[in-house]
Structure 1
Amino acid sequence: MSNDFTSGVIAAPVLPFHDDGTIDWPSYETYIAQVAEGGARAIAMNMAASEGGSLTPDEQSQVIRRTKSVLDGACPVISGVLSGYTIGAVATAKRMVDAGADGLVIFPSLPTFIPKPIPIDMLVEFHADIAAAVDVPVIAFQTSNSDYPQGTLTELAKIPNLVAVKDAAFSFEKASAIVDEVKGLNGRIAVLTGNDTFILENMLLGASGALIGFAGTATAALVRMQELAAKGAITEAYAIWFKLGPLARLCWTAPLRDYRVRMKYVLMRQGILPNCVARKPQPAITQADRDAIDRCFEAHGLDDPAYLPAGRRRAPLKAAS
């Protein structure tokens, strides 16, 4: 478990599809190489942003294998573990590690974890069973659908290979409470923000990094922003976020479901992807969203190559055949 997933920017990119809903591997491979070139600490696939829940088990494994092949050690690869029951989650975790995943993000067990309150011992047992089945670092995942009670992280921190929690509750108050709880654990685990609408603010609260879908674009700029925030260069960090924050808030506006096609439209506009197709039943992007993103690009100068995933226009790493 040599990989450090406790700080920096871990990108959770989108997954491109052809018009017929099949995975567009050539576009994916050239795109993902550019995300890595942008300096991502790691790349997380089979996440919500990459529509992991819409992929077959074989496709999830293919995503990890192909990503590893393309990156060829440029950065580690993490896989989401999505399952509504423990046995299925353990099997998925093992399958992703066998495919080459260097770490795992344990998604909440839905719908079991939706009703409140969630018993802490149930949460701990779920994570512990998955973590014990693999020999890689694991990251817990707090979402708006699964409000983990105060004290959960203190107990999860007792799991040896659980190294961090991704907070994507999209609540500033919850983010603050999570950071405060983790501060009392003497560095045992870290907080990675998954709150795309207030990434920098969450870092300034105390999150040591980000595991974030928005880093599927402007990766290099977000990496630089995190580095500046970590050393207290707040004005310089905000100079970047004042450009990118409006786009992040626009992509993650209601209905939240549509952030995937909005992000794909951003990448299409940047010349990275050929379309903004998501797997059905995800609807197509609306014309209103297209127009709003176009206006945002124009208002904030986001056509600058500095906001491409690699931070510049240059040849990507060689894609796998």
Structure 2
Amino acid sequence: MTKFIGTGVALITPFNADLTIDFDALERLVEYNIANGTDYLVISGTTGESATVTPEEKKQLINFIVKINNGRIPLVLGIGGNNTTNVVAEIKATDLSAIDGILSVCPYYSKPTQEGIYQHFKAVSEVSPKPIILYNVPGRTATNMTPETTLRLARDFANIVAVKEAGNNVHQYLELLRSKPKDFLVLSGDDDLVLGVLLAGGSGVISVLGQALPKAFSEMIRLGIARKAKEAYDIHFKLMPITRLIFSENNPTGVKAVLDTLNISKSHVRLPLVEATDGLKAAIKSEIEILEKS
């Protein structure tokens, strides 16, 4: 699935001061990413605050982004949860005609066994008319999908085409890359580890930082895929401080502060998240100034 190779970005959901969706800012963000090298957009992932976006708002976001994108780059939609029946029902009920793939997170909170994870994604696979990107993020779900389970799913279901691996575990990445089927894509969900993953054979990223600095970030990804390590690491080293900053008060708090500094969208988030502290905002502003001069 070559359309998922390269730089995907997990879009934020911009909010106005009253916490309604800021569609003007969302349009700016989409256009900014398309113009600066992002390969595909991910709608309604964790970074989009999907936990506090209502079903009606999610439909509005999909329809708006589909309209603004107008077929220019691929779109991936987040549909996942810990109630398998509900996930299956949402896939069946959603108009996926303009969507290129589904990003589906491991079931959270319930802490299923590996067999439970397998059966969950088996049910998702059997109803999905679109390719599926598995999403393993144990820091949020409380359960790690092992490489063995990921690869079992990859081999058993043709429409499971990739995994967004976000366990921040180098050994797990390497095990996936060592043993994966030839055409199965290993995508990094860890902005700090992505370059090493690419140089080891990974296919790309679904990034948080990438949407804020798409030109530099997507160039780093292209160089990494081309195995041009020195040139890629030159960019990686410049981005290391801002990458650390955006996750220091959780996601998407940090990247929203970056986008606010860049005058693309405001830093408002919905509870239980809170806005970046003044100290973090100042540190981000300072680092952006350094990057703009470099």
- The alignment's TM-score, normalised by the length of structure 2, stands at 0.92
Query: Where does the alignment leave 5 or more consecutive residues of structure 1 unmatched?
Result: 307-321
Q: 1:262 to 1:210 in 2, by over 3 A?
A: same
1:235 Cα deviation after fit = 0.9
Partner residue of 2:260 out of 257, 268, 271: 268
3-state secondary structure, aligned to 1:192: strand
On the 8 A contact 1:9/1:223 being kept in 2, the answer is: yes
On the 8 A contact 2:163/2:185 being kept in 1, the answer is: yes
1:4 Cα deviation after fit = 3.1
Number of the residue aligned with 1:259: 251
1:224 Cα deviation after fit = 1.3
On the 8 A contact 1:196/1:249 being kept in 2, the answer is: no
Number of the residue aligned with 1:288: 279
Number of the residue aligned with 2:230: 235
Number of the residue aligned with 1:137: 131
- Deviating 4+ runs (over 6 angstroms): none
- Count of aligned residue pairs for this structure pair: 290
Instruction: Verify: 1:223 aligned to 2:218, yes or no.
Output: yes
Cα distance per residue 1:145-202 (max 9 Å; x no partner): 32112411221112111110000111223222232232xx2x1411000012222122
Name the aligned partner's letter for residue 258 of structure 2.
Answer: V
Instruction: Verify: 1:122 aligned to 2:85, yes or no.
Output: no
Q: Greater CA deviation, 21-30 or 215-224?
A: 215-224
On the 8 A contact 1:32/1:67 being kept in 2, the answer is: yes
Number of the residue aligned with 2:188: 193
Query: Where does the alignment leave 5 or more consecutive residues of structure 2 unmatched?
Result: none
1:5 Cα deviation after fit = 4.0
Q: 1:73 to 1:151 in 2, by over 3 A?
A: same
- The alignment's TM-score, normalised by the length of structure 1, stands at 0.85
On the 8 A contact 1:209/1:226 being kept in 2, the answer is: yes
Alpha-carbon distance between aligned partners in 2 of 1:8 and 1:149, rounded to the nearest angstrom: 24
Cα distance per residue 1:88-123 (max 9 Å; x no partner): 11122234444732210011111123x6xx22x322
Cα distance per residue 1:105-142 (max 9 Å; x no partner): 011111123x6xx22x3222211211221211110011
1:80 Cα deviation after fit = 0.7
Cα distance per residue 1:272-317 (max 9 Å; x no partner): 12x200112211211121122123224xx3235x9xxxxxxxxxxx
On the 8 A contact 2:202/2:225 being kept in 1, the answer is: no
Partner residue of 1:101 out of 96, 99, 102: 99
3-state secondary structure, aligned to 2:251: helix
Number of the residue aligned with 1:311: none
- For residues 1-321 of structure 1, what are the structure 2 equivalents within 5 Å? 4-98=2-96, 100-113=98-111, 118-119=113-114, 121-144=115-138, 145-157=142-154, 158-182=156-180, 185=181, 187-253=182-248, 255=249, 258-273=250-265, 275-298=266-289, 301-303=290-292
Alpha-carbon distance between aligned partners in 1 of 2:50 and 2:176, rounded to the nearest angstrom: 26
Higher relative contact order (CA 8 A, sep 6+): 1
On the 8 A contact 1:243/1:302 being kept in 2, the answer is: yes
On the 8 A contact 1:83/1:107 being kept in 2, the answer is: yes
Q: Greater CA deviation, 225-234 or 72-81?
A: 225-234
Could you say what the CA RMSD is over the residues aligned between the two structures, in angstroms? 1.9
3-state secondary structure, aligned to 1:15: coil
3-state secondary structure, aligned to 2:281: helix
On the 8 A contact 1:142/1:166 being kept in 2, the answer is: yes
